[in-house]
Structures are given as structure tokens and as C-alpha cells.
Amino acid sequence: MLSEAGSDLAMGSQSAKRRDATGPSRPFRRVLPYVEIGALVVALVLPFALGDRTDLVTLATNILILSMLAISFDLCWGLAGIMSFGQALFFGVAGYAIALVGRDLDFSDLWATLPLAMLVGFCLAALFAAFLLMGRKTPSIIFVAFGTLTGSYAAERLVSGWQYVGAGNGLSSVKLLKLGAYEFVEGDAFYFLALGLLLLVYLGARYFKQSQLGLVLAGMRQNEERLAFFGYRVQLFKAVLFSFAGMVAGLGGALYSYHQGFIGPGNMGPGLSTTAVVYCLLGGSGTLIGPIFGTAIVEGLSYALSDIAAIQHIWPVVLGFVLLVVVMFQPRGIVGLLVSDRERIGSYGRRRSDG
């Protein structure tokens, strides 16, 4: 079963081969680092440019937090080839966990709650991976997709009927995130905290992607069986990446819960999970920077258009059309317009010094 990402990969390696065959090639121009640095610079100056528009800073912080969810999905689909329709599950459960720690233990110190959220996301994802991915028989990609979808759906139903966690109303007035005596409220400080954490997540994911592990994953996306015949334990690699993605989603969920001061059943359901899919595919899956762009575009447009009642009503329809158009005509996403296939797929391990 050749995935879309896999067929792209095949295309990329073919074009690289053609280049080699035509003799000495032009020096390979890399675009992606400039895109990444540009995005970082924009993100750094944004709060100063926005000045006193606090609503926009809040929106930007929200985008950074949701970007973690989008990156978490990209790790599953773009890198490991796992279609996860339940990425919001880890996001939501971690958000609930820190909200409950705040409510019942009256504790919200950054140095402990954020690692706790990551641990919750990691363990839950590892549990899912153990059930869905591991085992004697190789599970079909469809089974994994439905397994994650079902998990997310079941969790949403379970939580909306459970009084202890607030049932359908969710948990509101979540305790503020603290560092020592300092409390993070919405605003510049929270923005830079989210940006710093997103940067760490991004660098970690980027390291994963470009390491030898990333090369194995790329091979798996192209032909899983062949890699298995080489002796790689394919499902184990997938499980590792899935757990890491769950950890990232958990971190995002905790920040979301602290930032919004609210977490509800809808934050772990298939609705948010598929929104993460839209973020990632619109931006360009497998590029890591793409999902961030996708999140910014979707959330930014949604905010800009929310004043117009007519459009707000049909906004989900617009999202549906966007997803359909992307899937049908531009599966490489927006980043695919800027960056060549060869660069989008990337190079692995250490680069030769002679280039």
C-alpha cells in the first residue's frame, strides 16, 4: 500500500537521479532554511509589531499552541506514514490532566506540570501504539486509522458523561500556569513561553527527521515490506515516533488548557483531530514548517472572518472545500509550492563536506 508521501518520495529520488545522470549539477539551492528562519523572525517580532492589540497576541499564542498539535500529526503522517485520526486525544487528555492537578492538588508549577503533560501524552500514545501497531501480525494502515479515530471518539463520549471531570461542560477556570511566584496570563509572556517550547519541539522533530532514523522512516514510507526484509523492526520505529508525537500533543494540550483556562470534551474528539489533519495537509505534510503555516492560515482566517456572521455560519463548509481541494489538487500543500520535492523530502545523516 503505497502512501501519498511514499509516491512523492519515489518522485524525489528519481529527479535526484536524473540530475546525477546529466553530469555535474548546479549547486543545490536550499530554500527551506530561509523559510524557517523567516518564520522565526516574524514570530519573534510579532508581539512588538502588534503592540497593544492583545486579542491578536492571544490569537498568535493560540496558533503557536495548535501548531504543536499540527506538528504532532505531521510526525505521524508525514514522517511515519501513520494516519492518525485521534491526535487530539493526547492533546485533550493531557489538558484534562493538568486541569485536574490544578483543581484537586492546587498545583500548577511549570517545571512539573508540563513534563507531567508530556508524560501523559507519551504513555497514552505508547499504549495505543502497543495495541494498534505492535503484535505478530502487521496491522493494516486502515485498522490503525480507525483505531485512533475510535479511541478519540470513545474518549469524547466517556468524558462528556463523567461528572468528576465536569461532564459535557468540561473544566473551566483552570489554574494559571506558574513559574515560582510568577503567573502566566494571556499576553506577551505566555506568547514567548509558547514560542520557546514550540521551537524546542520543532528542533527536536527536525533532528528526528534528518537523522538516520528519518532515513529509515523515509524508506518505510516508500516500501515498508522491503525495510522489514532488511531486518528493520518497522512497527517498533512507528511506535517510537507515535509515542513521541503523543508527547508533543500532550505538551500542546497542557499549554492550551492553561492559556484558554478551559478544556472540554470537544478538545479530545475527532473534530479537533481532523482539524489537525487540515492544518497539516494545507501547509504541507512531512515538512514540519508546513503544519505551522497551515495552522496560522486556518486560525488567522477563521478569526478574521468571524465578524462576518454569514461566513462564520458556513466556515466549516469552507474548511471542507479547502481540504478537498488540497487532497485532490495540491497534496504537497502550500510549502510544496515554494520548495522542490528533493528538498521537501530532505537529506539524511551528515552531509558530505564537499556538497
Partner 1 sequence: MRLGAVTMGDEVKLAFDLLAFISVMVLIVLGLGIIASMMGIFNFAHGEFVLLGAYTVYIFQSSGWSGWAGILAAPVVLAVVGLVLERLVIRRFYAAPIIAMLGTYAIGLIIRESVRALLGGQYESIDEPLSGVFTLLGFNFSVWRCVIVLTTICIIAATWLFLSRTSLGLQVRGALENPNLARACGISTSKLYSMTFAFGAALAGLAGALIVPLYQLSADIGTRFLVQAFLSVMLGGVGTFEGPVLGAAAVGGMAAGLPWIVIPVLADPLVFVIALAIVKLRPQGFITQGRL
The distance of Cα 41 from the centroid of its chain, to the nearest Å, equals 21
Work out how close the CB of 140 gets to partner 1 at its nearest, in angstroms, rounded to a whole number.
7
Binding site for partner 1 (CB under 8 A): 1-4, 83, 131-132, 135, 137, 139-143, 145-147, 149-151, 153-155, 157-158, 161-162, 274, 277, 281, 313-314, 316-317, 319-321, 323-324, 327-328, 331
Contact criterion met (CB below 8 Å) for 88 and 272: yes
- Cell numbers 508581539 correspond to what residue? 47
Residues 6+ apart with CB under 8 A from 87: 69, 72, 73, 76, 148, 152, 245, 249, 273, 276
- Residue 311 burial (CB count, 10 A): 15
Q: In terms of CB distance, is 313 or 350 closer to partner 1?
A: 313
Q: In terms of CB distance, is 274 or 295 closer to partner 1?
A: 274
CA–CA separation, 116 vs 122, rounded Å? 10
Residue 123 φ then ψ, to 5°: -65, -45
Question: Residue 182: beta bridge partners?
Answer: 179
Q: In terms of CB distance, is 16 or 319 closer to partner 1?
A: 319
Work out how close the CB of 221 gets to partner 1 at its nearest, in angstroms, rounded to a whole number.
12
Helices (H), the chain: 4-21, 32-50, 54-74, 87-104, 110-132, 141-160, 188-210, 212-222, 224-229, 234-260, 270-283, 289-305, 309-329, 335-338, 341-345
Q: In terms of CB distance, is 33 or 320 closer to partner 1?
A: 320
- Judged on CB neighbours under 10 Å (0-12, 13-18, 19+), 212 is exposed
Work out how close the CB of 137 gets to partner 1 at its nearest, in angstroms, rounded to a whole number.
6
Q: In terms of CB distance, is 34 or 321 closer to partner 1?
A: 321
Residue 143 has which C-alpha cell? 485498522
Work out how close the CB of 147 gets to partner 1 at its nearest, in angstroms, rounded to a whole number.
6
Q: In terms of CB distance, is 153 or 256 closer to partner 1?
A: 153
Work out how close the CB of 276 gets to partner 1 at its nearest, in angstroms, rounded to a whole number.
12
Work out how close the CB of 1 gets to partner 1 at its nearest, in angstroms, rounded to a whole number.
7
Contact criterion met (CB below 8 Å) for 247 and 118: yes
Distances (CA, A) of 318 to 179, 274, 301, 323: 41, 14, 11, 9
Q: In terms of CB distance, is 18 or 157 closer to partner 1?
A: 157
CA–CA separation, 239 vs 80, rounded Å? 9
Q: In terms of CB distance, is 153 or 191 closer to partner 1?
A: 153
Q: In terms of CB distance, is 4 or 36 closer to partner 1?
A: 4
Work out how close the CB of 5 gets to partner 1 at its nearest, in angstroms, rounded to a whole number.
10
Work out how close the CB of 44 gets to partner 1 at its nearest, in angstroms, rounded to a whole number.
34
Work out how close the CB of 348 gets to partner 1 at its nearest, in angstroms, rounded to a whole number.
24
